[in-house]
Structure 1
Amino acid sequence: MIIATAGTTNTGSIDPLNEIADLCEKHNIWLHVDGAYGASILVSSKYKPLLNGISRSDSISWDAHKWLMQTYCCSVILVKEKQHLRNCFSTHPEYLKDAETGEEQINYWDMGPELTRPARSLKLWMTLQALGTNAVGEAIEHGVQLAEWAEDEIKNYNHWEIVSPAQLAIVNFRYAPTGLSNQELDSLNKRISQEMVKNGYASVLTTQLNGKTVLRICAIHPDTTEDEMRNTIQLLSNIGRSIE
């Protein structure tokens, strides 16, 4: 099995899905795509082509409680051939003999580890019925735009560097004034994050990329405005200068 990624949590990066699918088909390898975060871009007509090749996978994991704005937990596993799930999970204990059905009906206990399942899908169904897929797609596209606005604003300030560019609503960056060691820069950016969270205007946390501590914005709130995003960057810059 090969596991490809459709939008990493840290940077929103996408693996070359078609090239990986070619390799899997050539060598008869199962292709699973981790789309827990990024697969939601498929709801956007504008950005759907970013995941060209995902339809060639054998299975996909997808968390609606991430970018489809559902409360935790609401996740799905999609498989190309449902018989694979039956082969893994189907059991026939004596207490279910009377509940067994034919091929025309689905018993979901045959397709997963749970015998009794909560109605996790109901909230997603209700959201799609109330808003429609077009509105949900527009909310996702807005998240992509928010990260691009953030990157654009970062470039207006001295001593800031883009560590990974805006993609799938995520951008990573850090304050890097000259004359400081890497360890000092890591500590400085941690302090900037702590002060930002303490301020309460926005929650901008850190992550690690290539051994560096960086600031990470994941902009998926559909009500966030361009001004609010640019103000967030301005406030981060002010905090950085004040504690340098």
Structure 2
Amino acid sequence: MQKDQLHSNPALNYVLCDSDSSRQQYQQQMTLAAQGVERWLSDPALYSGLDVASLARAINLNIADEPQPAEQVIEQALRQYLDHSLKVHHPHCVAHLHCPTLIISQTAELLMNASNQSMDSWDQSPAATVIEMKLIAWLRELVGYSTGDAGVFTSGGTQSNLMGLLLARDAVVQRVWGIDVRTQGLPPDAQRLRVICSSQAHFSVQKNMALLGLGYQSVVAIACNAQGQMDTQVLQQTIAQLQQDGCVIAAIVATAGTTDIGAIDPLQPIADIAKQQAIWLHVDAAWGGALLLSNQYRHWLNGMAQADSITLDFHKHFFQPISCGAFLLKDPAHFGLMHYQADYLNSAFDEMQGVPNLVARSLQTTRRFDALKLWMSLQHLGTAQFGALVERGIELAQQVAAKIADDAQLQLMIEPQLSSVLFRLNNPTDVLSLTPANLDLLNQQVADHLLYSGQANVGVTRFQGQTCLKLTILNPVITLPDLEKLLVLVKQQAAVLIQKIKTLETVSQRESLS
């Protein structure tokens, strides 16, 4: 007799388990969802085009007391969520470090979600724990660290950076003040602590130092050179000045792939300075870490292996579904700075028996098995093809930058380094001359109009005091003709807006004459 017949339990229709009813419901609902995704992928529009207010009016959650058929719920989600979602695989979706995903990683998500393993203790995730530890060991070897498994998967770059700064802070407090921050808290004069990064470093440095109780004032952002890289001469001068002022430097944060420019700080010289001064070096390689798989550009990361900690992020140029990142720690002993023992998770008995409960390495307790996605992707593509996809994005950025540089209507702001291209519309002096503020506004509104018309998602940022447009080329299916077409759309939209400005000016002149 089947379990469904033994127990007339309605939950068997809702909870994924080993009953016939559950398995049948799972197959039916997965099929409906997959069919909906297939329809969505077939729609050529990048976005439905609704602005914030219109989208808020269009979405009605319809939460009721009575159950609704799964078919109806799925259809509502497809109509209200998926149909109004941005297509990150679209060749004109180039605003952010936001990638399309590998099919094999979507398959991994299915396995992860069905098994629902929690990575905090081994008895909740036995195989997953071992796989993650082995993949961390492989990543350590890839970056040039010694043999071991000191590291952990994270939600992404911000969390990995937080872990690096937390351990750097507590290590220097222990060394300088002789205080264990875990048990005693920060010293009374902790406001002397400083972290140094470049002016182009990720905003999570400031955000995380605020979370660590030291405020934005603890972050010293130093000038960059013309390529947007940390100026090592200024770095040395800054260290000397801070030490003279009685400050204690907890860490230097070097960036391998800045968000806007894709700049990679000179890692080897920075590592030499950090070693000489006995300062913790954290390398934020959330984007540039993908170069580890590139034969052609791997040398750009020379020196990274000397860092005390490293951020890697796989939902950028590794083409993984959000979220998927990792934190690597050179010296495993430093994990002791955040160690806490809970009898119900990582008991002393378990530790004596060598049971690996990964909660001891993580800021999170419950945590997804995101390592599965990366492992399956590396297996399926192989590292050589992975590296070739990364290289293609860099080369495509160089090609489109050359097109922009040759276009009188556009201005290339800086030569690309990874696969980010900063440019802006030039002042249309042949038609009318815009003030700097209005030219900034024109660039902003061009991007806005392209998004709300469902044609393109182009990034907007500030560089050298000017509003710029940004192409972030992470999508391996994009071609140069796709990007050339996008530049045409940018110029066409600018022409429409300029014509409106001219019309308004003419009307204003007529009114003043009358």
TM-score normalized by the length of structure 2: 0.45
Q: 1:127 and 2:377 equivalent?
A: yes
Q: CA deviation at 1:79?
A: 1.2
The alignment of Structure 1 onto Structure 2 pairs a total of residues equal to: 242
> Which whole-Å CA distance do the structure 1 matches of 2:487 and 2:475 have between them?
16
Match of 1:111 in 2: 361
Residue ranges of structure 2 left out of the alignment (5+ in a row): 1-250, 499-514
Alignment of 1:7-22 (within 5 A): 7-22=257-272
Q: Is the 8 A contact 2:261 2:420 kept in 1?
A: yes
TM-score normalized by the length of structure 1: 0.92
Match of 2:449 in 1: 195
Q: CA deviation at 1:99?
A: 2.4
Q: Could you tell me which of 321, 328, 336 is aligned with 1:78?
A: 328
Alignment of 1:92-103 (within 5 A): 92-95=341-344, 96-102=347-353
Q: Could you tell me which of 390, 397, 403 is aligned with 1:140?
A: 390
Q: 1:169 and 2:423 equivalent?
A: no
RMSD: 1.7
The alignment partner of 1:167 has SS state of coil
Q: 1:157 and 2:407 equivalent?
A: yes
* Range with bigger deviation, 92-101 or 132-141: 92-101
Q: Could you tell me which of 482, 505, 514 is aligned with 1:228?
A: 482
Q: Is the 8 A contact 1:173 1:216 kept in 2?
A: yes
Match of 2:316 in 1: 66
Structure of greater Rg: 2
Q: Could you tell me which of 157, 168, 184 is aligned with 2:438?
A: 184
> Which whole-Å CA distance do the structure 2 matches of 1:22 and 1:184 have between them?
45
Cα pair distance change 1:226/1:83, threshold 3 Å = same
Residue ranges of structure 1 left out of the alignment (5+ in a row): none
> Which whole-Å CA distance do the structure 1 matches of 2:307 and 2:451 have between them?
40
Q: Deviations over 1:87-130 (max 9, x none)?
A: 12322333324422456x64312212234432011011111111
AA paired with 1:146?
Answer: L
Q: Which runs of 4+ in 1 moved over 6 A?
A: none
Q: Is the 8 A contact 1:192 1:239 kept in 2?
A: yes
Match of 2:340 in 1: 91
Cα pair distance change 1:90/1:155, threshold 3 Å = same
Q: 1:205 and 2:459 equivalent?
A: yes
> Which whole-Å CA distance do the structure 2 matches of 1:135 and 1:202 have between them?
28
Q: Is the 8 A contact 2:409 2:491 kept in 1?
A: no
Q: Is the 8 A contact 2:271 2:307 kept in 1?
A: yes
> Which whole-Å CA distance do the structure 2 matches of 1:115 and 1:183 have between them?
48
Q: Deviations over 1:37-94 (max 9, x none)?
A: 1211221111111111111111111110111111111010011111211x12322333
Higher strand share: 1
AA paired with 1:56?
Answer: Q
AA paired with 2:360?
Answer: D
Q: Is the 8 A contact 1:10 1:207 kept in 2?
A: yes
> Which whole-Å CA distance do the structure 1 matches of 2:330 and 2:390 have between them?
25
Q: Is the 8 A contact 2:309 2:327 kept in 1?
A: yes
Q: Is the 8 A contact 1:43 1:136 kept in 2?
A: yes
* Range with bigger deviation, 176-185 or 54-63: 176-185
Match of 1:48 in 2: 298
The alignment partner of 2:482 has SS state of helix
The alignment partner of 2:321 has SS state of coil
Match of 1:5 in 2: 255
Higher helix share: 2
> Which whole-Å CA distance do the structure 2 matches of 1:81 and 1:242 have between them?
58
Q: CA deviation at 1:180?
A: 2.0
Higher relative contact order (CA 8 A, sep 6+): 2
Q: Is the 8 A contact 2:421 2:471 kept in 1?
A: yes
> Which whole-Å CA distance do the structure 2 matches of 1:198 and 1:115 have between them?
40
Q: CA deviation at 1:155?
A: 2.4
Q: Is the 8 A contact 1:7 1:38 kept in 2?
A: yes
> Which whole-Å CA distance do the structure 2 matches of 1:206 and 1:240 have between them?
15
Q: Is the 8 A contact 1:62 1:75 kept in 2?
A: yes
The sequence identity of aligned pairs, in percent, is 34
Q: CA deviation at 1:237?
A: 2.1
Q: CA deviation at 1:33?
A: 0.5
> Which whole-Å CA distance do the structure 1 matches of 2:348 and 2:272 have between them?
43
